Structure 1
Amino acid sequence: MSTHRTCIAGVGMTRFTKPGAGEDYPQTAAQATRAALADAGIALDDVQQAYVGYVYGDSTAGQRALYEVGMTGMPIVNVNNNCSTGSTALFLARQAIESGAAECVLALGFEQMKPGALGAVFPDRPTPFQPFDDATTRLVGHEGIPMALRYFGGAGLEHMRRFGTQLSTFAQVRAKASRHAANNPLALFRTELTADDVMASPKIWPGVMTRLMACPPTCGAAAAVLCSEDFARRHGISTAVRIRAQAMTTDTPATFDCDDMRNVVGYDMARQAAAKVYAQAGVGPRDLDVVELHDCFAQNELITYEALGLCDEGGAERFILDGDNTYGGQVVTNPSGGLLSKGHPLGATGLAQCYELTLQLREQAEQRQVAGARLALQHNLGLGGACVVTLYERGD
């Protein structure tokens, strides 16, 4: 195994906005990139490769975005892995450094989304989601509900059926997200909500989901500069935040064969990726101080607690009701407000999680700082499918 360890040299992020309320993607991507470069204290000329992620955009939009910052002739690779696009760019950048192929790499993610529910962009050809749709139709039906709501609402319904989880518990997850986001100036929604507020919002699947349990379509960008320890020392860059372990998984036959909607939305992928990361690092979930996980729906946050081993299978409701998912509990989850409150610009999400955890480990997160944070876990999921789990550590 390579000994080229990866440091997070710099991070940058824009404020996330509703569709149509902010600048176009070349401007937001350039803003995030410039912020990450400034944070690292280097110029674009020092970057040897770039991995640029987005979901809704034409080919080579990554080049278009980075050309706003400068045109250095370096390799630029466009990445599209659904909602895990940003962390896939991070995964590739880390691989480039740890293999010795490069010493300084940029991972950039952005999205310029349209209002409304997600849908197919190319309806004239087979959708990659056909196996997911078929499994969801077989397991839960409700073909008239938008696809993402069916997937994740169905997973929440599976948890409710198996373990007696109450709908109000998912509302507690959303309320917690709003309390955390109130302290994040870059979050889309910063108004604090109660669980009653969440329960009273319009019902998009009666008995299964309300509108406030779903994240909104969002626009914005985030970036991270990664480098080797040798590069950091030569350029006077802090090595305080490092990637200690990382794993990426894709679907196995269990996604569709085990008659469990939780697996259809990536529970098994997340469980396997987390297990690999814990084994690589020689730590367990009880060692974590802070977690940024993929809460595209409140239902997914709840089942992900179990997939990551933060609690036992079936124990997520008690974990939430005991306050073990927030400040003063076992581990602070989504101090940024998560996708539910911060927003979810698909290509940027994984790198926005990196941004938040880097600030936490540097002790720069201000009002949302997790005291004494030394180990931070990131979970980013894309249906279709890919899951990336990354463990960061604070160095001495």
Structure 2
Amino acid sequence: MTNKVFVAGVGMIPFKKPGTSESYDQMGAQAVKLALADAGIAYEQVQQAYAGYVYGDSTCGQKALYRVGMSGIPVLNVNNNCATGSSALFMARQAVQSGAVDVALAFGFEQMNPGALKSVWTDRAPALERANDVVNELEGNGELPNAIRQFAGAGQAHMRKYGTRLETFAKIRAKASRHAANNPLALFRTELSTEEVMAAPWLWEGVLTRLMACPPTCGSAAAILVSEKFARQHGLRTDVLIAGQAMATDLPSTYDAKDMIRVVGFDMTALAARQAYEQAGVGPEDIDVIELHDCFAQNELLTYEGLGLCAEGEGEKLVNDGDNTYGGRWVTNPSGGLLSKGHPLGATGLAQCYELTHQMRGTADKRQVAGAKLALQHNLGLGGAGVVTIYQKVSA
């Protein structure tokens, strides 16, 4: 079966700095309750749930969900690095589309610690061991956190190959801050200039300033997905359709090409995007608004090219032409993105869904992209997983 899948409800709580949030289970329950209320259904009507988180013990999803209800439904816990939230969404969408269930819940949460990402398990080989070996070979800088070496190194490779200026990445970060100023759920809402981003302390001299990297964040978000049949029977909204969705994992080129841009997931982004466009019957030129994985300002520019918004090497021109913000060809990260909204790993993909659902409904307030009818979500996790989702506004 290939049922149409609609986003009936979404919920999200304000993102916060580590140490200032409630516990993960409280945050997760809050987001789920908001999504249920937005959909207009009771928890007892949910038939399956998918919980996304990266840092936590097994069955944390159940602990969070039991604060909402205990109906005996299947609850599956999902951990796919920074693409965890969208991986939970992917699984929920598959369940509804296949006809296995009519109502599925996807939610994600993260209770993070301050500082750079690091592995909890130090007594075994890391999942990113192969990627780290390539980074060591190409970049060195072993004293820096791995995420910086990976994504800033990819930005540096783009600078070397195409002449991209560091200032271009600073422009992307400044744009994110302008967008986040209109998002009451964002962690950072202070507008920054390009000059302020450039003047921030170096994390990697000549390659990355502190403001070009997203902050560790705590938060949660959720989405209720339903079949058309269920929506019609219960009078639920059917104005936001998941028109296409694809997940890709690493290809041989990720490591064999010895190219930092490939190491950070460019090829799996491109593959997932092509598949999602094909499913939806659209192309990048048809998209109006985009939430993409800007864990570093550098990765936002790389993703423009991976999604086919422009050819490889032309990301800087897209930025300079203003085609990534209001008044341009696409509005990217109207929420403020990971750079300003924050990046609680397990919640990020669902927070992107929250933003784009409101964009398709026309309820994004000051962030609203006028006349938006098609939206694209891109969520990336190294190790790896890349998920691209296309949402379509459906007229009543």
Q: TM-score, normalised by structure 1?
A: 0.99
Identity of aligned residues (%): 66
1:127 aligned residue: 126
2:71 aligned residue: 72
Q: Look up the equivalent residue of 1:341 and give its one-letter code.
A: S
CA RMSD across the alignment:
0.5
Unmatched 5+ stretches in structure 1 = none
- Partner SS state of residue 351, structure 1: helix
- Partner SS state of residue 225, structure 1: strand
CA shift for structure 1 position 140 = 1.1
Report matched runs for 1:168-179 at 5 Å: 168-179=167-178
- Partner SS state of residue 124, structure 2: coil
Q: Look up the equivalent residue of 1:168 and give its one-letter code.
A: E
Inter-partner Cα distance in structure 1 for 2:37 and 2:247: 29
Report matched runs for 1:11-22 at 5 Å: 11-22=10-21
CA deviation digits over 1:280-308, x for unaligned, max 9? 12211010000000000000000000000
Unmatched 5+ stretches in structure 2 = none
Inter-partner Cα distance in structure 1 for 2:47 and 2:226: 10
Whether 1:351 aligns to 2:350 is yes
Report matched runs for 1:201-280 at 5 Å: 201-280=200-279
Inter-partner Cα distance in structure 1 for 2:281 and 2:19: 45
CA deviation digits over 1:169-213, x for unaligned, max 9? 000000000000000000000000000000000000001000000
Inter-partner Cα distance in structure 1 for 2:106 and 2:276: 20
CA shift for structure 1 position 275 = 0.6
CA shift for structure 1 position 154 = 0.7
Inter-partner Cα distance in structure 2 for 1:159 and 1:45: 50
1:111 aligned residue: 110
Report matched runs for 1:108-187 at 5 Å: 108-187=107-186
CA deviation digits over 1:242-286, x for unaligned, max 9? 100000000011100011101100000000100111111221101
- Partner SS state of residue 137, structure 1: helix
2:339 aligned residue: 340
CA shift for structure 1 position 311 = 1.1
Inter-partner Cα distance in structure 2 for 1:286 and 1:67: 43
Q: TM-score, normalised by structure 2?
A: 0.99
Q: Look up the equivalent residue of 1:378 and give its one-letter code.
A: Q
- Partner SS state of residue 10, structure 1: strand
Inter-partner Cα distance in structure 1 for 2:46 and 2:366: 32
- Partner SS state of residue 381, structure 1: strand
1:292 aligned residue: 291
CA deviation digits over 1:349-396, x for unaligned, max 9? 000000000000000000010000100000000000000000000011
Inter-partner Cα distance in structure 2 for 1:135 and 1:237: 49
1:27 aligned residue: 26
- Partner SS state of residue 295, structure 1: coil
Inter-partner Cα distance in structure 2 for 1:22 and 1:62: 17
CA deviation digits over 1:114-145, x for unaligned, max 9? 00001110001111111011000111111111
Q: Look up the equivalent residue of 1:330 and give its one-letter code.
A: R
Inter-partner Cα distance in structure 1 for 2:45 and 2:379: 28
- Partner SS state of residue 95, structure 1: helix
Whether 1:197 aligns to 2:210 is no
2:49 aligned residue: 50
CA shift for structure 1 position 3 = 2.9
Q: Look up the equivalent residue of 2:264 and give its one-letter code.
A: V
Inter-partner Cα distance in structure 1 for 2:60 and 2:224: 19
CA shift for structure 1 position 26 = 1.0
2:307 aligned residue: 308
Q: How many residues were matched structurally?
A: 395
Inter-partner Cα distance in structure 2 for 1:147 and 1:8: 36
Inter-partner Cα distance in structure 1 for 2:65 and 2:19: 21
Q: Look up the equivalent residue of 1:93 and give its one-letter code.
A: A
CA shift for structure 1 position 22 = 1.3
Inter-partner Cα distance in structure 2 for 1:166 and 1:221: 35
